[in-house]
Amino acid sequence: MRPVIPYVAAALLFGLGVYGVLRRRNAVLVLMAVELMLNAVNLLLVTANAAPLATVSGPPAAAPAAPDAPAVDTAAAPPLTGQAFSLFVIVIAAAEVGVGLAIVLQLYRLRATIAVDDVPLDTHTPDTGPRAVVAAAPAAPARDGSASREPGPGERARGAER
Amino acid sequence: MTGTDALTLALGAVAVGAGALVVTTRHLVRAGLYLVVSLGAVAGLFLVLTAELVAWVQLLIYVGAVVVLLLFAVMLTRAPIGASDDLDRPGWPAALIGGGAGLGLAALLVDAYRWSTVELPEPGTAERLGAEVFGSWVLPFEVLSVLLLSALVGAVVVSVRIPGRRR
Amino acid sequence: MSVAPALGALLPAVPLGLALVGLLLPQRSRRGAAALGIGGAAASLAVAVALVAALDGRATEVGTGWVDVGGLAVTLTLRLDPTAALVAVAVAAVALAVQVYSVGYLRDDDRYAPYAAQISLFTAAMLLVVLAGDLILLLVGWEVMGVCSYLLIGHDRRLPEAPAAAVKAFLVTRVGDVGFLLGIVLLGVGAGGFRIADVLAHDFTGGQLTAACLLLLAGVAGKSAQFPLHTWLPDAMAGPTPISALIHAATMVAAGIYAVTRLYPLFEAAPVALALLGVLGSVTLLLGAFAATAQDDIKRVLAWSTVSQIGYMAGALAVGSPAAALFHLLSHAAFKALLFLAAGAVIHAVGSNLLSAMGGLRRPMPVTFWGTALGLAALAGVPPLSGFWSKDGVLAVAAQAARHHTGPTASWVGWLVWICGLAGVAVTAWYATRLLLRVFLGPARSPRHPVDGAPTDTAEAAALDAPSPGVDRTLGTAPIDAPAGSPAPTRAGTPHDPPPVMRWPILLLAVPSVALGPLVLATPLRSALDVAEVHLDGLAVIPVALLVVGAGHAWWRWRADPTTDPATVLGPLRPALARALWLDEAQHALVVRPVRALGRLARRADETVIDGAVEGTGRGLHALGGGLARSHRAAVPRAAAALLAGVLLLGAAALAWGGAA
């Protein structure tokens, strides 16, 4: 197996993820790009576990063994540090997506838009808010109690900021 | 080029191609689906690299939960079903930085590894991985549990809607 | 003899003390101010006369140490010798006459009290200069005189050109005073102290002495209105006429000459300085005389005449006779003060300064007429008046220096002074005659209501006699209607002799104008002044002949047509001479404008560069803070881009560093 292939794939995935974070306007798409980045890192970790740099020049180093760990037949098998860490990364990614999406949804409720451009930090724009948005579009049944049509108030909010 | 190489090459190409489509497509829902393809290809790569548990966990959690969450979010924020034009910000800083990161990293790795070969190790089964995690990495494991718990609580807190009061 | 030091110390102190008291008086108190002023001047005169008597031909010094500046001793010394005492008498007498006259002249002025106090202060300063035995004390008196001149020229606030004239006088004399101060410093540092006796006894090197004397000459030229620092004196006529009489005719302008006589042994050893003085004096002599021929303002004629006569004194100094210079100084003080006071009476009667508004005043104002006639005769040098003797003394020493090579300077200086002096006699006689004829004889040209009348035939004259550009005055065709400080002119248009308080000073000053010559030459005063024996040889006839020629020409022109100004004989030269060869304009262009531009540049540099740097630092920091704040508040996309770019850069840096290491 030639490790350079998954390595390069991981690197390109990472680059694509960065590109997506900076290019995409929709917050959910940004989170998708972040997932790409995390996957790239996972791939790197796993590949490194299989083909660490030391194998190019020598035998792999052993992982630190716990004092009272049951003796598994790892004496001849290389350690699985990379894979363990990729598990951890997956866990973190899951937590991050959960919280991130909760925030995105709350933002949507407040501003009726989830374009990352429209969240300026240097000026204060009055939130459209549930009441204001409801008052602005009385015909729409409030599903989340927030905006009616996305283009309408979103456009207004977006138009106010730029 | 052995079969393993061909397989990794194919899977890698699929992953990268799907990833490229994720970040460039103008259809929101299709982006989510391309993400599924990409994550699936990566899981395949994990399998080829003998990281069995990681591969199945990847499929379970990433494809099964995370992507579903993302798609739910897409639906809940009334994303347009068809193509939408205003999904992108100016492209040159993204291209610059993204290209720089990706290509730079790729160059680094190619320079390190060249066309060398490596023997595939023993498969990373659940037993072995469990021994590793609970043997050497217990503390990170526990911390991650706490992290998950706090993420759960945080997500609930952020999402709660107090009726009648603007949050 | 023992009382002389006390008298000497008292002499400047009395008017100084009364002046300080007078300055504290409220402005409206006329009686108190007049009493202090006249009393002070009278007391000074009495003390000065007593001093002459007490000195009895001997010289003494009185003084104490004052301060030690880095090894240089400054003392409070007064040098009391007969010369100084005589000059002090002259100063006090003129001051008394002026104080008495001013009571009448400024009857309608409500700022009389500070005016009188300032005259007392000036008298004190002049007496200090006369008696000073220490260079620093001389300088103190010198500068206080300059300040009083400034205050008094600008006395009449209603006159638009008075403040500018006062500033001009102050600044031009200040330019000279810088040189004066440097000269004093050079002398003092060289001699190790500032006492005049020590300085005179010290043995300076040639170069040091020449440099110091040349610098002192700058101050002399400034204070005594010699070329090229003469431009302030004609404009200073914007001050009240008694002030012109006191300061700008009799005393302050003579202070420069007096200072040279005081330090004459030094000047004798620096013939370069004396030669320069001779040249300046000769040039000034002729310049003043010719300029006086073309003026239409009576006070300006007298001002240029003063400039010219001081040129005679400077010339006398240059050819080695300080005594002749001092004699001419004293007689000039008498007749010029007389002329100014009489001119004041005429201005008061007619309501205008301009010759073209006067005429035919002999019958209505006989006292003034005869006073002016005597004064002008003395000015021209008609024997046996004082002016004849003193001017003849100057010409005699000049002739001697020229022909017999006596005197500290080369003989060409003597020739220059003599020839120019002779030419000046003719021109002086010419303009003196013109003045007398235009003012007192011929048809009356003054309008019946002189206050608001604007005689049209003076339009051309007013344009010719326009003030120099340094004086800021919008020149219309109206002549100067309210002469400085003069009381309201006579109503119903009938000129008459001035009231007694103004008449008596004129009469009293006529006495020395007539009699000072024989008085000095025939009495023990001659030895006090150290005037040379007078011998009326053939050369003394030449000035008299020239006088007759000059006066006769003017009279003949006037006889041909009594209504026109004899100055029309000047023809196309008249505008040039009226503006004194545009020297004032040249000064304005060469000095005033560049200095003002420099001032504006300095101000702009201060505001933009220095203030700009200070404020710019604040503004820059503020902007920097604002910029940093803005970058902190970047929205998500920009923050993400910054973050990722930073990561990329850090990675590249770590790679490079790690690779290098």
pLDDT on residue C299: 92
C319, C401 in Cβ contact below 8 A? Answer: yes
For helices C298-318 and C411-440, give the axis angle rounded to 10 degrees: 160
pLDDT on residue A58: 47
Cβ atoms within 10 Å of B150's Cβ, excluding its own: 12
Kindly report, residue by residue over C432-476, the tens digit of the pLDDT: 999 998 888 878 776 643 433 334 344 434 444 444 433 333 333
B83 three-state secondary structure:
strand
**Residues C605, C608, C613: CA angle, nearest 5 degrees:** 110
Q: CA C387, CA C513: separation in Å to the nearest integer?
A: 7
C630 has a pLDDT exceeding 90? no
Q: Taking residues B63-72, what's their average pLDDT?
A: 92
> Which of C334, C206, B52 lies closest to A83, judged by CA?
B52
Residues of C with Cβ-Cβ distance to B97 under 8 angstroms = 641, 644-645, 648
Look at residue B13 and tell me if it is in a domain.
yes
Helices (H) and strands (E) in chain C, counts: 27, 2
Cβ atoms within 10 Å of C252's Cβ, excluding its own: 27
A127 three-state secondary structure:
coil
Any alpha helices (H) in chain A, and if so which ranges?
A: 4-23, 27-50, 53-57, 81-111, 129-136, 151-160
pLDDT on residue C313: 92
Domain segments of chain C: what residues? 1-269, 272-447+499-572, 589-625+634-660
Contacts of C70 (CB under 8 A, 6+ apart): none
Gap from A22 CA to chain C (nearest CA, Å): 6
Cβ atoms within 10 Å of C600's Cβ, excluding its own: 10
Output the six-digit token pair for C22: 């007078």
Q: CA C18, CA B167: separation in Å to the nearest integer?
A: 88
C79 three-state secondary structure:
strand
The number of distinct structural domains making up chain B is 1
Q: Is C180 left (phi over 0), alpha (psi -120 to 50) or beta?
A: alpha
Q: CA C346, CA C498: separation in Å to the nearest integer?
A: 8
Say whether C645 and B93 touch across the interface (CB within 8 A): yes
Look at residue B10 and tell me if it is in a domain.
yes
DSSP assignment of B58-78: IIIIIIIIIHHHHHHHHHHTT
State which residues form the domain around B88. Answer: 3-123
Smallest Cβ distance to B74: which of A28, A64, A130? A28
Place of tokens 């035998």: A59
Q: CA C158, CA C313: separation in Å to the nearest integer?
A: 36
The CA dihedral of C422, C426, C431, C435, to the nearest 10 degrees, is 110
Output the six-digit token pair for B30: 């299709």
Look at residue B143 and tell me if it is in a domain.
no
Backbone phi, psi, residue B161, to 5°:
-110, 120
Residues forming a β-bridge with C61: C79
In this complex, how many residue pairs, one in chain A and one in chain B, have their CB atoms less than 8 Å apart? Answer: 325
Q: What is the CATH number of the domain that holds B50?
A: 1.20.120.1200
C234, C580 in Cβ contact below 8 A? Answer: yes
Cβ atoms within 10 Å of C494's Cβ, excluding its own: 10
pLDDT on residue C483: 47
Q: CA B82, CA B72: separation in Å to the nearest integer?
A: 16
Say whether A16 and B101 touch across the interface (CB within 8 A): no
Q: Which residue of C has its CA nearest to A23?
A: C637
Smallest Cβ distance to A22: which of C630, C633, C644? C644
C309 three-state secondary structure:
helix
Cα four-point dihedral sign C550, C553, C556, C557: negative
Look at residue B114 and tell me if it is in a domain.
yes
Q: How far is CA B94 from CA A29, B38, B144, in A?
A: 14, 20, 32
Cβ atoms within 10 Å of B111's Cβ, excluding its own: 9
Give Cα C162 to chain centroid, integer Å.
15
Type of residue numbered C108: D
Contacts of C532 (CB under 8 A, 6+ apart): C321, C323, C324, C393, C396, C397
Restricting to A residues 52-71, those with a Cβ less than 8 Å away from any Cβ of B are: 53, 55-56, 63-66, 69-70
C282, C420 in Cβ contact below 8 A? Answer: yes
C95 has a pLDDT exceeding 80? yes
DSSP A143: S
Look at residue B26 and tell me if it is in a domain.
yes
Percent of chain B whose predicted confidence (pLDDT) is above 70: 94
**Which subunits count as partners of chain C given 3+ CB pairs below 8 Å?**
A, B
The CA dihedral of C622, C623, C625, C626, to the nearest 10 degrees, is 120
Higher pLDDT, C517 or B96: B96
Higher pLDDT, A125 or A72: A125
Give Cα C64 to chain centroid, integer Å.
31
In this complex, how many residue pairs, one in chain B and one in chain C, have their CB atoms less than 8 Å apart? Answer: 18
Percent of chain C whose predicted confidence (pLDDT) is above 70: 90
Q: CA A105, CA A144: separation in Å to the nearest integer?
A: 10
Determine contact: C648 vs chain B, CB below 8 A.
Answer: yes
C240, C152 in Cβ contact below 8 A? Answer: yes
Higher pLDDT, C392 or A91: A91
Q: Taking residues C114-122, what's their average pLDDT?
A: 92
Interface with chain B: mutation pick from C648, C655, C657, highest number of B CBs within 10 Å: C648
Higher pLDDT, C416 or C582: C416
C211, C186 in Cβ contact below 8 A? Answer: yes
Kindly report, residue by residue over C264-289, the tens digit of the pLDDT: 999 988 889 999 999 999 999 999 99
pLDDT on residue A155: 42
Q: Which residue of C has its CA nearest to A24?
A: C637
Determine contact: B32 vs chain A, CB below 8 A.
Answer: yes
Kindly report, residue by residue over C536-587, the tens digit of the pLDDT: 667 778 888 888 888 888 888 888 877 777 777 777 788 888 887 888 888 8
Q: Is C185 exposed, middle or buried (0-12, 13-18, 19+ CB in 10 A)?
A: middle
Q: Taking residues A93-110, what's their average pLDDT?
A: 91
Kindly report, residue by residue over A56-88, the tens digit of the pLDDT: 554 445 555 555 545 444 445 678 899 999 999
**Which subunits count as partners of chain B given 3+ CB pairs below 8 Å?**
A, C
Q: How far is CA C175 from CA B91, C222, C306, C307, in A?
A: 73, 7, 20, 18
Q: Is C497 left (phi over 0), alpha (psi -120 to 50) or beta?
A: beta
Gap from B36 CA to chain A (nearest CA, Å): 10
A146 three-state secondary structure:
coil
Q: Which residue of C has its CA nearest to A123?
A: C633
> Which of C555, C544, C610 lies closest to C433, judged by CA?
C555
Q: CA C332, CA C317: separation in Å to the nearest integer?
A: 15
B160, A108 in Cβ contact below 8 A? Answer: no
* Confidence bin at C150 (pLDDT 50/70/90): very high
Q: CA C486, CA C104: separation in Å to the nearest integer?
A: 9
pLDDT on residue C283: 93
Kindly report, residue by residue over A14-56, the tens digit of the pLDDT: 999 999 999 988 889 999 999 999 999 999 999 999 887 765 5
Output the six-digit token pair for A90: 């997956």
Q: Is A113 exposed, middle or buried (0-12, 13-18, 19+ CB in 10 A)?
A: buried
Kindly report, residue by residue over B8-46, the tens digit of the pLDDT: 999 999 999 999 999 999 888 899 999 999 999 999 999
C61, C130 in Cβ contact below 8 A? Answer: no
Look at residue B103 and tell me if it is in a domain.
yes
Kindly report, residue by residue over C483-510, the tens digit of the pLDDT: 444 444 444 457 777 788 888 888 888 8
Output the six-digit token pair for C226: 């010699």
Look at residue B48 and tell me if it is in a domain.
yes
The CA dihedral of C255, C256, C262, C266, to the nearest 10 degrees, is 170
pLDDT on residue A66: 52
Gap from B110 CA to chain A (nearest CA, Å): 6
Say whether C636 and A116 touch across the interface (CB within 8 A): yes
pLDDT on residue B147: 95
What's the mean pLDDT when you consider all of chain A? Answer: 73
The CA dihedral of B129, B130, B133, B134, to the nearest 10 degrees, is -160
Q: CA C257, CA C60: separation in Å to the nearest integer?
A: 22
Backbone phi, psi, residue C67, to 5°:
-145, 150
Percent of chain C whose predicted confidence (pLDDT) is above 90: 28
> Which of C263, C240, C283, C56 lies closest to C154, judged by CA?
C240
Burial letters for C555-564: b for 16+ Cβ neighbours within 10 Å, e otherwise?
A: bebbeeeeee
Among A8-22, C58-72, C411-425, C527-541, which range has the highest average pLDDT?
A8-22
Kindly report, residue by residue over C600-627, the tens digit of the pLDDT: 999 998 888 888 888 889 999 999 998 8
B70, A97 in Cβ contact below 8 A? Answer: yes
Look at residue B8 and tell me if it is in a domain.
yes
> Which of C236, C249, C480 lies closest to C354, judged by CA?
C480
Q: CA C296, CA C460: separation in Å to the nearest integer?
A: 10
Q: What is this model's ipTM?
A: 0.91
What's the mean pLDDT when you consider all of chain C? Answer: 83
**Residues A32, A33, A39: CA angle, nearest 5 degrees:** 90
Say whether C634 and A121 touch across the interface (CB within 8 A): yes
* Confidence bin at C34 (pLDDT 50/70/90): confident
Determine contact: B23 vs chain A, CB below 8 A.
Answer: yes
Q: CA B61, CA B57: separation in Å to the nearest integer?
A: 6
Say whether B120 and A72 touch across the interface (CB within 8 A): no
Q: Which residue of C has its CA nearest to B96?
A: C645
Pairing status of strand C72-80 against strand C60-69: antiparallel
Higher pLDDT, B36 or A117: B36
Kindly report, residue by residue over B151-161, the tens digit of the pLDDT: 999 999 888 87
* Confidence bin at C308 (pLDDT 50/70/90): very high
Output the six-digit token pair for B32: 């989510």
Backbone phi, psi, residue C217, to 5°:
-60, -30
pTM over the 0.80 mark: no
Residues of C with Cβ-Cβ distance to A119 under 8 angstroms = 635-636
Least confident segment among A105-109, B119-123, B150-154, C570-574: C570-574
